[in-house]
Amino acid sequence: PSLSSMGAGDVVSITALELVQFLEDEEDATAVVDVRDTDYAGGHIRGCINLPFLEFDRHVQNLIVSLRTKKRVVFHCFYSKARGPKSARIFARYAAMKLRTNAPDVLVLNGGMNAFVYESKQGGVDGERILKWLEGYDPEAWEE
């Protein structure tokens, strides 16, 4: 679905390049929430908020208050298959209740941090754009 057709509590998936476009165009209007736990080590998206999934429920209300002026909030974990999407849905539901029509768009980074790092290694203009947002990168942490 397009962002304009989203209803309260809906969550939409975006690519690494779409996230970088938001950050390049409207960094102040975009928040990135990384819900990885111990797997946070090895690199993250510059400027992200690390709120481990195991602590998410306890802090979601404060997160909503602190991000209430953002246009969009992007969630992710390592693969964005479970923790990231679940956190996004919880945030979207509470934000819709608390902020009503002023709630930010809630998005999930497709493929999570794994995809972000992979895309940054692809070279070319797009890879370089993504790489600029990768902070604290430790290649050894990404070896399988």
- The 10s digit of each residue's pLDDT in 52-100 is 999 999 999 999 999 999 999 999 999 999 999 999 999 999 999 998 8
- Type of residue at 107: L
What pLDDT score does 10 carry?
Answer: 60
pLDDT at 141: 83
pTM of the prediction?
A: 0.91
Query: Which class for 139: exposed (0-12), middle (13-18), buried (19 or more C-beta within 10 A)?
Result: exposed
- Stated as kind and residue range, the H or E segment containing 76 is strand 72-76
Three-state secondary structure call for residue 30: strand
pLDDT digits (tens, 9 = 90+) for 30-42: 999 999 998 898 8
% the chain with pLDDT above 90 = 78
Distance of CA 79 to the CA centre of its chain: 11
Residue 109 scores a pLDDT above 80: yes
| Candidate from 17-21, 51-55, 90-94, 140-144 with smallest mean pLDDT | 140-144
**Among 52, 63, 34, 55, which residue's Cα sits nearest to residue 136?**
34
Average pLDDT score over the chain: 90
* pLDDT reading at 116 higher than 50: yes
Spatial neighbors of 64 by CB under 8 A, at least 6 apart, are 91, 94, 95, 98, 99
User: Stretch 106-123: mean pLDDT, rounded?
Assistant: 94
The answer, yes or no, to whether residue 2 has pLDDT greater than 90, is no
Give residue 29's pLDDT band: very low, low, confident or very high (50, 70, 90): very high
